[in-house]
Amino acid sequence: METANHNSLAAAVLRLLRPLVRILLRNGVSCGAFAELAKWVYVDVADKEFRVSGRKQSVSRVSVLTGLTRKDVARLQAIASPDDAAEVQRHNRAARVISGWVRDTRFMDTAGNPADLPVEGEPASFSQLVKHYSGDIPVRAVLDELLRVGTVERTESGTIRLVQHSYVPRTGETGKLHILGTDVADLIASIDHNLQHADTNPYFQRKVMYDNLPEEIIPRLRKLTEAQGQALLEELDRFLSQHDRDSNPNSEGTGRKRAGVGIYYFEDDTSSE
């Protein structure tokens, strides 16, 4: 059974690494550089998540867990993690602004859609939207970011129009690579949870897929996915915003949890298989 599990795990790792390696090669990351990143993560996870209760984690134990030498472990522990905190903050600020624009009736038109907003003014303007949903961040900084990634546009009359109902950068590799790090990590973490808690507390994890589809139905499938997927996410956003303490300071309850739902579309050509 152990050999079978290792074979299945090795096959799974090869499948998930293939698209990742394509991204790494396109961005000039060599095999050696990737290996160093992998070693750093091995050491960090072993150090923080595989400790013996009541005992201080030692370099020797991390060495045994990871298969790395003690010299390598000590060297890697002295290296700080690459920091994308600025990108995380930028992403979170922009996402909150878009979310408020989509669900807050103060910033909607008479049909219930996100309204074109003047940059300044009261009660409904882009400045007021940013003030409500992005704190004390300068309005110009938020606007420049949303314009840069193609989420909003200026109309001929000078108002700001929402082009995308979610913050998904269409330009700028840095923002897209940040999404790679967060979304894929969340999916793998959910799968890991379900591997460990399949019978007690599994997370919802489903997909639908067929492998003999005609090309002509693909555009319809994309439109259907975008429409229904976006509708579901906006419904979940309305529910979550009622209970999120940043959006609703009066929300009651204990503890602090991070939770959400992700939807993704995939497609490839199987005609050559």
pLDDT score of 150 = 84
Residue given tokens 């152990």 in the structure block: 2
**Per residue in 12-30, pLDDT tens?**
999 999 999 999 998 888 9
Residue type, 148: R
The answer to whether the bond into 123 is cis (omega within 30° of 0) is yes
pLDDT < 50: residue spans in the chain = 171
Q: Which of 196, 194, 268, 239 is nearest to 99 (CA)?
A: 239
The number of residues making up the chain comes to: 273
By C-alpha distance, which of 125, 160, 155, 159 is closest to 145?
Answer: 160
Distance CA 73, CA 63 (A): 6
pLDDT attached to residue 173: 61
Instruction: Report residue 141 CA to chain centroid gap.
Output: 22
Encode pLDDT of 192-248 as tens digits: 999 999 888 999 999 999 999 999 999 999 999 999 999 999 899 889 988 998 878
pLDDT value of position 215: 94
CA dist., res. 21 & res. 25, Å (int)? 6
Share of the chain above pLDDT 90, in %: 59
Q: State the amino acid at position 231 in one-letter form.
A: A
Q: How is residue 184 written in tokens?
A: 């894929």
Overall pTM surpassing 0.85 (yes/no): no
Which amino acid belongs to residue 89?
A: Q
Radius of gyration of the chain (CA): 23
What stretches of the chain show up as alpha helix (H) in DSSP? 2-26, 31-49, 59-66, 70-77, 85-103, 126-133, 139-149, 173-196, 218-243
pLDDT given at position 273: 53
Query: Collapsing DSSP states into helix, strand and coil, what is residue 215?
Result: helix
